[in-house]
Chain A
Amino acid sequence: MVIDLDKCTGCGTCMVACMAENNVPFREDETDKRLSITWMKVYKLTNGKPYPDAEICYLPRPCQHCEGHHTGHSPCVSVCPATATDYDGETGIVSQIYTRCFGCRYCMGACPYHARYFNWWDPVWPGDMEKYLSPNVSPRMRGVVEKCSFCFHRYQLALEKAIMEGRDQLEEQEYQTSCTQACPAGAITFGDLNNPEHKVHQLAQPDPHHHGRPRNPEVFRLLERLHTNPKIYYLSTREWVRRAGDNYVKDESKSAHHE
């Protein structure tokens, strides 16, 4: 996935679409955001400068589907004691098996992106809202961890259709996440990073010899220096935005990014 931060307006449509698509539960009082389940969360970044130089950037953050420094060594997958979260080498998607998760929350502690959420309450939908739930996504029970699945059910449906049609490859547009389709600014691009014909590959230009690090100088990944090897690439023409994607010791040059 590539997210163009220069296009993102911070409208939050991706968050809403994600919640609706994936049967994400909510409560009446959602004022404490550290208790809210938001598979897709939009952060607000500022360049810290006063007017008239002040600039704002909105950064949508789904699960980063990290591969780690070797396949499957994602921060969360490597620590889950019950193999309730796994890295799929075929799709590159980090899965979450809700019925196997026993809620130890070690994966949440391991994830530097805070992309994992715990069901502190039983999921309850008011009134007739249960009728609007997606039949393709199982709601989660209290006491387990959940997170963005890259709309995996959409992948399964698309793959089934392709197989029925005698194909083993998906067309680029056949499998798109709900946030990608909902974004009114067209800031999110989704596809196969390994397929040179897909737009995400052309935008990010992942370097297979350096764990997928982007060759496009205007593209970066969050916390690249932690070697989590994520699959979300962010695009921005603004230097301060790209620098905000990682930590640097004071006065450290941008070259540290490529160490």
Chain B
Amino acid sequence: MDSALFPKGVQRCAMGKFLLGISLASAVLLWGVIGMLLCWIKGLNQTNMNDYYGFALWIWADLAVIALGGGAFFTGLLKYIFGIDELKNIINLAVLIGFICYSSALLILAIDVGQPLRSWFIFWHANVHSMLTEVAFCLSVYFAVLTIEYIPLILENRQLDKVPFIHNLTHNMHHIMAVFAATGAFLSFFHQGSLGGVPGVLFGRPFAFREHILVWPFSFFLFTWSAAAYGPCFTLFINWIIEKASGKQLVKENVKQLLAKISGWMIITYIIAKIVDTVYWATSTAPARGFTLMDFYSNNALYGIWILFAELVLCGVVPGLILISPKLRANQQARLIAIILGVIGVSLNRWVMVLQVMAVPVMPFDTWALYYPSWQEVATTILPVAYGVILVMISYRYLPIFPQEVELNPIEPLSTEAVAEIEGEKETADEASVPEGEPAPA
């Protein structure tokens, strides 16, 4: 029914099956929208947050999706600045994931603040000393960059591409995309870092506080580094899900292994830096404020030392070692385990740097503050996941996200008329010399 909208030379599932999938995701989305409206209309009393837990599930979700969406800027950096050309075959997906992650983060922030209509105050009355100000500026601008990067992908839809103006616009946008890739990398360095700075500057919270290099706490650099390291894991993970759902291989093995290898080395170097940071913090920063390491990991029901082990070793060292080993990363099962551990690892790091910070008592006579989210918080956190699923489904169905799909999945020989039609379209495209599926930068 909608086959005229499909990218050339590919097959898609039946409309009914597609709509069924969209409907299921929409039901979840609707649940999230109800939670969102309740929070906006009735206020944040709909959550289980309290005066000890001012930052909770949403801020974790924000930090996590931004870290996971880090694959967009880092893959763009590798492709356009470092010239690793093979990554053109996965960069469209990285951009799409980045767009979903960043738009989700902005939506969650809009729900999270007590007075959403005053959100613009952060720009108007900006406090330049606040890490959150830097986050807001860089995040907003980078989202605009991601939007600009996503637009050519939309315009490459088979039918839109037939319009000469759109065709030429896409062509010209591709030519200037390297500029946006560089801008995106620059902005990402700062907002990923300033998100790390958000807990790192809290000198009233010894669990979060880190020593500084000039005005930046160590966590500033570690957050950027970890987003670059683990972001590609998430890109590979989503790629695996789409391949499983579609039943097709969409990206060649050498491309996946290349990205996995780069991710692996980034994880290993990051985790070494993170361990050094942790040791220094545990032996110098915290004791100077009267805390031992175990003060942060005992006398409560949830946060034991296991969480530090899980973050650093199980979801840090282990996936890093798997991905830097040529033999192991060539093994699809091992690689999958590594990228899943990586995704969990960076999410766990963000959890610890937000929720555990709130939980640890600082005044000696105070107690641990533990919290569980309300259904409204859970629904509004799952909302972006449902939105992401819908956007991925639509994008995959109608846009040339995977340049290698046609080659990897040749379809049955076509009738003479169909071949003639495709030939005709190909000639038109060749005249404008824009190859289909040309990757967008991140």
Contacts and interface: CB of A to CB of B under 8 A. Distances in A.
A167 to B, nearest CB: 34
Interface string A76-92: 00111111100000000
Interface string B104-117: 00000000111110
By size class, the interface of chain A is 35 or more
A53 B333 CA distance: 63
A124 interface: no
B43 A80 contact: no
Contacts of A223: 204, 362-363
Interface in A108-126: 108-114, 116-122
B119 interface: yes
B125 A84 contact: yes
Interface stretch (B172-180, B287-295, B391-399): B287-295
A143 B114 contact: yes
Nearest to B290: A247
Interface in A210-227: 222-223, 225-227
Given A45-B365, A114-B52, A143-B115, A81 B133 contact: yes
Contact of A111 (B204, B287, B365): B204
Interface stretch (B9-17, B154-162, B195-203, B237-245): B195-203
A228 B206 CA distance: 12
B327 interface: no
Contacts of B357: 109
B132 interface: yes
Contacts of B362: 112-113, 223, 226, 247
A55 to B, nearest CB: 13
Given A78-B129, A80-B127, A143-B115, A109 B51 contact: no
Interface in B114-154: 114-116, 118-119, 121-122, 124-127, 129-133, 136
Nearest to B286: A249
Contact of A246 (B116, B118, B292, B364): B364
A119 B54 CA distance: 11
A83 B133 CA distance: 10
Contact of B114 (A59, A103, A109, A225): A103
A43 interface: yes
Contacts of B168: none
Contact of B115 (A79, A101, A247): A101
B366 interface: yes
B113 A104 contact: yes
Contacts of A102: 113-116, 118-119, 121-122
A75 B289 CA distance: 15
Chain A, interface SS category: loop
A43 B365 contact: yes
Contacts of B295: 247
B290 A248 contact: yes
A35 interface: yes
B202 A114 contact: no
Contacts of B290: 225, 246-249, 252, 256
B2 to A, nearest CB: 43
Interface in B344-383: 357-358, 362-366, 369
Contacts of B132: 79, 81, 104, 106
Contacts of A143: 43-44, 113-115
Contacts, number: 166
A81 B198 CA distance: 11
A82 B125 contact: yes
B363 A109 contact: no
A1 B438 CA distance: 67
A100 interface: yes
B267 to A, nearest CB: 28
Contacts of B366: 43, 114
Nearest to A104: B113
Interface of A: 32, 34-36, 43-45, 59, 75, 78-84, 100-106, 108-114, 116-122, 141-145, 222-223, 225-228, 244-250, 252, 256, 259
29 contacts: A34-B369, A78-B130, A79-B198, A79-B202, A80-B130, A81-B136, A82-B118, A83-B125, A100-B121, A101-B114, A106-B198, A109-B202, A109-B205, A112-B205, A116-B51, A117-B51, A118-B44, A119-B114, A120-B44, A121-B45, A143-B44, A225-B289, A226-B206, A244-B364, A246-B364, A247-B289, A249-B287, A256-B290, A259-B288
Given A79-B201, A83-B126, A247-B291, 17 more contacts: A44-B365, A79-B131, A102-B113, A102-B122, A106-B54, A111-B204, A112-B204, A114-B363, A119-B114, A121-B43, A223-B362, A225-B290, A226-B203, A245-B364, A247-B290, A252-B290, A256-B290
Interface of B: 43-45, 49-55, 112-116, 118-119, 121-122, 124-127, 129-133, 136, 198, 201-206, 287-292, 295, 357-358, 362-366, 369
Q: Which 5 A-B pairs have the closest CB atoms?
A: A103-B114, A143-B114, A247-B290, A105-B54, A112-B204
